[in-house]
Chain A
């Protein structure tokens, strides 16, 4: 930003239609600042500018991970992601549940923690989580960093705490060295989650067949998948599962058109969704709309892991969220479409 502080640009803000009133200030430095803002907005973020061609369309391709990311942090984060010392009994790492070879999930209905402790909720995938607007099913974490600390402290997950974890890691000279190479304060809880979150930002599945389809390759997906895309749009799935991550950018009530939980029965705490966070009645059973990018690999589905197959999931979604009875043919087509959404994960390489 600072490099622009002395650049005067002859034009006004391009995007800020509502910001023209701000130019009333006559102080010279304010003018400089405004000029700078324009410069930043126009020049500071080319990715955003390129993005604009997808404006108006509900879905858009996943971009590559930013090459500005510090490779050392990524490597350290990967190390930490797979380090079981983050758990109390050294048995559980992030990767235990978020198996990168298994769609970033554990394949269980509910997570299993230390000592075989049964979790309360289905493990969401770690892939493309960087594109989720909030983390956790109930969106209680604003960032990946905030999320990463959660399981470490969850008694039914890793069941540990930072002082213990840091103490254990500090015994490992190699790890200590890796930390001190990057962070002045060495091994700390903040630095561990920073590294893990950095690593997680590289866990993107780019170059999905559907993305190629969106970018003009009409043969990238099957005819059925293309039909599924159309149905996905016309049924209104796309009203919530939209954006670059095909979901993950809003909340929605589970059971808009039907009482999902009444039908399912056995309503538990974890079924309350955001209500637990906000306490607002309107947030009862409200969950983050999950991304469908790697949905092909993350069965079982829903926060309760109640849908064993993708077809079941689609069927239930149509019933409770859209208030529709979806024919099997349509379900299959939509599943075909959903299968085309997953791209490949490639280990991060800034080159």
Chain B
């Protein structure tokens, strides 16, 4: 409902009530009987006035001898006039000053009239008597007399009667003239008294008659009829106006009443709407209350249970049918305690009695016999009712228990545990932390997580830590931290974000382990390794230096022994010298090879060995090598077989090293293959594009467990064969190293008495590709 429409019905109601009141006062003179009565009075008055005029006229002309009718007429006029003049019964003061003025005028005119009537009545009584008396008296006086006096007296009576019948000035003058004459005439002593009396009577008649004439003239001047007509007109107009007004009021009332009804209907409609709304709200409230997970009930203002939701019922299942509408709060409470639903009060000073007396508005916790924990709150509502809320705390209590265990684990953990909020402020540390850092719980909590920083870690590292954490990931790492006493210690930390149900990080958990000891051990180890590496480097350096120093004199030995052996400067008679010189030359040669190999090894080990990227024709290289090795095979009585595919593609690689690979493999095979055996050199292009070189022999083979060993420097398969198979033991190491430098693959396939196949696979990426992409 809008603000404006709310008071509308009330305004209408007030307006109608006001109108009814106004209507009442405006129309209180609308009484038809009253108006009729007034109209009747006016008409009666008019009629009576006319009647009075008539009767007065009759009186003035001696036509009536009984004034009772006039008296009655006047009395009636007075009564009616009085009634009209009375506001309670007539018109005075009701309609307006105009009519009041006329009523006053009427009254005064009437009073004048009455006075005149009285005067006329009195005078006409005199006139009647004189008129009756005088002719008889004069007749008596003038009986049987014919004198002038008698004649004049007769004339006097005639004039008197004429004047009485037709009272004109002329007749009056005539009468007066004769009267004077009579006065002047002397009568006999006897008659003079009688004549004097006659003259008295005549004078009385004359004056009465004259006065009556004047009174009648005045009487007719009192225009009461006109005033009455005016009053009547005004009254009619008034009455008609009243009727019109009443009709207007009726219409207005009708309209207002209809508006009022409409307003009331509207108000009722609004009321209905509000009622429906309230019902809906109530239902929504109930639905809401039913849907919540808390028990809810309320007792009405009379303390009677009037509503509870399903959860409340569940929590108080033990009450059974005792839980019913209309039970009082106290009986409910008693039933709960009696049925052990509220078995134990868990508040500090919780007792049943205390709860009943002071429980309202104070939450309390009860534990029931079946182990349910209920958080209760009973509070007074504004209307005097009591609202009861029951929360099932059992799960929370279990969680609490679990948490307590967890926290105990954390408390007793051998690792330091620190929890910070998202801003890095410490919110928890465990006793181990206290022990490890020297900071107590109270000192640590509230401080930043950098409390123990030694300041060694760079800002960059910290920012990577925060970045990791802020991405929700776990961060692992070490810290060199500082204790409260300033000593440093190493910790290995696992920092992980703690997330709530929504996946938002609320805290960070750092679990840290003191790794100072381990760190020390590692440092020792690294130191040892560095020393070993330094020793190895010195050896390599030494070998390189020594090889150079050895090769210089060896060149002299090999050169000169060759000159002697060839007897370049004349023959040597003693064959023993020749043989010796051959041995010297061969030993020198061998020594040179050994030295070269050692140089290579040392280069490899020092990491300075590089390969050249030549274009190598594998097939041609194999042919060259076989030709070079053929004498040795021949000497060892072995058959050297060439199985090289024609048109092998060119590859990129170090030609000398590849040649060395092939020589070493072939010499090894020859060395470890008995007489009449066969050594085969295979060269082929595999379907995947790689180039395979393989040396296959029919020798003793290599035991499986030794196959890894043979690739290491200075190793040979067995001491058993050492005497037979002299060598530096560097050959396969070098092969393996060179193969690796070419990104190729070395496969040894061998077993005891099964012969050995050593395969080198050059990857397809090593094939030489021309500008057009052809191999």
- A interface residues, Cβ below 8 angstroms from B: 1-2, 5, 13, 15-19, 22, 25, 27, 29-30, 32-34, 36-37, 40, 48, 54-60, 133, 142, 234, 236, 238-240, 242-244, 249-253, 256-258, 278, 282, 286, 322-324
- The distance in angstroms between the C-alpha atoms of A256 and B133, with both chains bound, is 14
Name B132's closest neighbour in chain A (CB-CB). Answer: A236
Chain A residues with Cβ below 8 Å from B204 are: 256-257, 323
Q: Are B47 and A13 in contact (CB under 8 A)?
A: yes
Residue from A19, A278, A322 in contact with B133 in the complex, judged by beta carbons closer than 8 Å: A322
Chain B residues with Cβ below 8 Å from A322 are: 129, 133
- The distance in angstroms between the C-alpha atoms of A322 and B128, with both chains bound, is 11
**Does B422 have its Cβ within 8 Å of any Cβ on chain A?**
no
- The distance in angstroms between the C-alpha atoms of A54 and B236, with both chains bound, is 38
Chain B residues with Cβ below 8 Å from A59 are: 66
Q: Are A256 and B126 in contact (CB under 8 A)?
A: yes
Name A257's closest neighbour in chain B (CB-CB). Answer: B200
In the assembled complex, the CB of A244 is this many whole angstroms from the nearest CB of chain B, namely 6
Name B211's closest neighbour in chain A (CB-CB). Answer: A282
A-B residue pair count with CB separations less than 8 angstroms: 127
In the assembled complex, the CB of B665 is this many whole angstroms from the nearest CB of chain A, namely 155
Residue from B33, B125, B200 in contact with A250 in the complex, judged by beta carbons closer than 8 Å: B125
Chain A residues with Cβ below 8 Å from B78 are: 142
B38-46, B521-529, B585-593, B723-731: which lies at the interface:
B38-46
What are 24 A-B interface contacts by the 8 Å CB criterion?
A1-B40, A5-B33, A15-B51, A16-B47, A16-B51, A19-B43, A22-B47, A33-B43, A36-B36, A36-B40, A37-B44, A48-B72, A56-B64, A57-B65, A133-B71, A133-B75, A236-B129, A239-B65, A243-B66, A243-B71, A250-B125, A251-B122, A256-B204, A324-B133
- The distance in angstroms between the C-alpha atoms of A155 and B184, with both chains bound, is 54
Chain B residues with Cβ below 8 Å from A142 are: 78
- The distance in angstroms between the C-alpha atoms of A13 and B40, with both chains bound, is 13
Residue from A40, A58, A60 in contact with B40 in the complex, judged by beta carbons closer than 8 Å: A40
Residue from A19, A55, A278, A323 in contact with B69 in the complex, judged by beta carbons closer than 8 Å: A55
Interface mask (B202-230 → A, CB under 8 Å = 1, otherwise 0): 00100000010000000000000000000
**Does B190 have its Cβ within 8 Å of any Cβ on chain A?**
no
Chain A residues with Cβ below 8 Å from B66 are: 54-60, 242-243
**Does B504 have its Cβ within 8 Å of any Cβ on chain A?**
no
In the assembled complex, the CB of A184 is this many whole angstroms from the nearest CB of chain B, namely 16
In the assembled complex, the CB of B140 is this many whole angstroms from the nearest CB of chain A, namely 12
Residue from B68, B119, B211 in contact with A60 in the complex, judged by beta carbons closer than 8 Å: B68
- The distance in angstroms between the C-alpha atoms of A142 and B114, with both chains bound, is 12
Q: Given A19-B50, A257-B200, are A250 and B67 neighbors across the interface (CB < 8 Å)?
A: yes
Q: Are B71 and A249 in contact (CB under 8 A)?
A: yes
- The distance in angstroms between the C-alpha atoms of A244 and B32, with both chains bound, is 39
Q: Given A133-B71, A236-B128, are A30 and B47 neighbors across the interface (CB < 8 Å)?
A: no
Q: Are A323 and B40 in contact (CB under 8 A)?
A: no
**Does B54 have its Cβ within 8 Å of any Cβ on chain A?**
yes
Name A139's closest neighbour in chain B (CB-CB). Answer: B118
Name A33's closest neighbour in chain B (CB-CB). Answer: B39
**Does B673 have its Cβ within 8 Å of any Cβ on chain A?**
no
Q: Given A18-B50, A19-B46, are A243 and B125 neighbors across the interface (CB < 8 Å)?
A: no
Which residues of chain B from 11 to 56 have any CB-CB distance to chain A below 8 Å in the complex?
32-33, 35-37, 39-40, 43-44, 46-47, 50-51, 53-54
In the assembled complex, the CB of A263 is this many whole angstroms from the nearest CB of chain B, namely 14
Interface SS of chain B: helix, strand, loop or mixed?
Answer: helix
In the assembled complex, the CB of A241 is this many whole angstroms from the nearest CB of chain B, namely 10
In the assembled complex, the CB of B56 is this many whole angstroms from the nearest CB of chain A, namely 12
Name B72's closest neighbour in chain A (CB-CB). Answer: A48
Name B201's closest neighbour in chain A (CB-CB). Answer: A323
In the assembled complex, the CB of B195 is this many whole angstroms from the nearest CB of chain A, namely 12
In the assembled complex, the CB of B197 is this many whole angstroms from the nearest CB of chain A, namely 6
- The distance in angstroms between the C-alpha atoms of A302 and B71, with both chains bound, is 23
Name B136's closest neighbour in chain A (CB-CB). Answer: A234
- The distance in angstroms between the C-alpha atoms of A48 and B72, with both chains bound, is 10
Chain B residues with Cβ below 8 Å from A1 are: 37, 40
- The distance in angstroms between the C-alpha atoms of A252 and B204, with both chains bound, is 13
Chain A residues with Cβ below 8 Å from B119 are: 282
Residue from A22, A34, A243 in contact with B68 in the complex, judged by beta carbons closer than 8 Å: A243
In the assembled complex, the CB of A277 is this many whole angstroms from the nearest CB of chain B, namely 11
Interface residues of B toward A: which range?
35 or more
- The distance in angstroms between the C-alpha atoms of A244 and B69, with both chains bound, is 10
Q: Are A242 and B65 in contact (CB under 8 A)?
A: yes
- The distance in angstroms between the C-alpha atoms of A60 and B200, with both chains bound, is 32
Q: Are B43 and A239 in contact (CB under 8 A)?
A: no
Chain B residues with Cβ below 8 Å from A253 are: 122
In the assembled complex, the CB of A248 is this many whole angstroms from the nearest CB of chain B, namely 9
**Does B432 have its Cβ within 8 Å of any Cβ on chain A?**
no
Name A16's closest neighbour in chain B (CB-CB). Answer: B47
In the assembled complex, the CB of B49 is this many whole angstroms from the nearest CB of chain A, namely 8
In the assembled complex, the CB of B226 is this many whole angstroms from the nearest CB of chain A, namely 12
**Does B115 have its Cβ within 8 Å of any Cβ on chain A?**
yes
Q: Given A18-B47, A236-B132, A250-B125, are A32 and B65 neighbors across the interface (CB < 8 Å)?
A: no
**Does B239 have its Cβ within 8 Å of any Cβ on chain A?**
yes
- The distance in angstroms between the C-alpha atoms of A286 and B67, with both chains bound, is 17
**Does B113 have its Cβ within 8 Å of any Cβ on chain A?**
no
- The distance in angstroms between the C-alpha atoms of A27 and B43, with both chains bound, is 14
Chain B residues with Cβ below 8 Å from A278 are: 115
Q: Given A2-B33, A33-B39, are A323 and B200 neighbors across the interface (CB < 8 Å)?
A: yes
- The distance in angstroms between the C-alpha atoms of A223 and B673, with both chains bound, is 219
In the assembled complex, the CB of A273 is this many whole angstroms from the nearest CB of chain B, namely 11
- The distance in angstroms between the C-alpha atoms of A27 and B35, with both chains bound, is 13
**Does B304 have its Cβ within 8 Å of any Cβ on chain A?**
no
Q: Are A257 and B201 in contact (CB under 8 A)?
A: yes
**Besides A256-B204, A258-B200, 6 other CB < 8 A contacts?**
A5-B33, A17-B50, A25-B232, A25-B236, A239-B65, A257-B204
**Does B311 have its Cβ within 8 Å of any Cβ on chain A?**
no
**Does B121 have its Cβ within 8 Å of any Cβ on chain A?**
yes
In the assembled complex, the CB of A256 is this many whole angstroms from the nearest CB of chain B, namely 6
Chain B residues with Cβ below 8 Å from A242 are: 65-68
Q: Given A15-B51, A34-B43, are A252 and B125 neighbors across the interface (CB < 8 Å)?
A: yes
Name B53's closest neighbour in chain A (CB-CB). Answer: A18
In the assembled complex, the CB of A272 is this many whole angstroms from the nearest CB of chain B, namely 16
Chain A residues with Cβ below 8 Å from B200 are: 257-258, 323
Chain A residues with Cβ below 8 Å from B240 are: 27
- The distance in angstroms between the C-alpha atoms of A250 and B232, with both chains bound, is 32
Name B197's closest neighbour in chain A (CB-CB). Answer: A323
In the assembled complex, the CB of B93 is this many whole angstroms from the nearest CB of chain A, namely 21
In the assembled complex, the CB of B107 is this many whole angstroms from the nearest CB of chain A, namely 13
Chain A residues with Cβ below 8 Å from B64 are: 56
Q: Are B115 and A19 in contact (CB under 8 A)?
A: no
Interface mask (B68-87 → A, CB under 8 Å = 1, otherwise 0): 11111011001000000000
Q: Are A30 and B133 in contact (CB under 8 A)?
A: no
Q: Are B65 and A58 in contact (CB under 8 A)?
A: yes
In the assembled complex, the CB of A315 is this many whole angstroms from the nearest CB of chain B, namely 16
In the assembled complex, the CB of A126 is this many whole angstroms from the nearest CB of chain B, namely 19
- The distance in angstroms between the C-alpha atoms of A322 and B204, with both chains bound, is 10
Name B236's closest neighbour in chain A (CB-CB). Answer: A27
Chain A residues with Cβ below 8 Å from B132 are: 234, 236
- The distance in angstroms between the C-alpha atoms of A33 and B53, with both chains bound, is 23
Q: Given A1-B40, A5-B36, A236-B129, are A16 and B68 neighbors across the interface (CB < 8 Å)?
A: no
Q: Are A239 and B51 in contact (CB under 8 A)?
A: no
Q: Given A18-B53, A29-B239, A37-B40, are A240 and B125 neighbors across the interface (CB < 8 Å)?
A: yes
Q: Which 8 A-B residue pairs are closest in the complex by CB-CB distance?
A: A18-B50, A236-B129, A33-B39, A243-B68, A239-B125, A19-B47, A58-B65, A133-B71
In the assembled complex, the CB of B198 is this many whole angstroms from the nearest CB of chain A, namely 9
Q: Are A239 and B47 in contact (CB under 8 A)?
A: no
Which residues of chain B from 99 to 128 have any CB-CB distance to chain A below 8 Å in the complex?
115, 118-119, 121-122, 125-126, 128
Name A237's closest neighbour in chain B (CB-CB). Answer: B129
Name A23's closest neighbour in chain B (CB-CB). Answer: B43
Chain A residues with Cβ below 8 Å from B201 are: 257, 323
In the assembled complex, the CB of A42 is this many whole angstroms from the nearest CB of chain B, namely 13
Chain B residues with Cβ below 8 Å from A286 are: 122
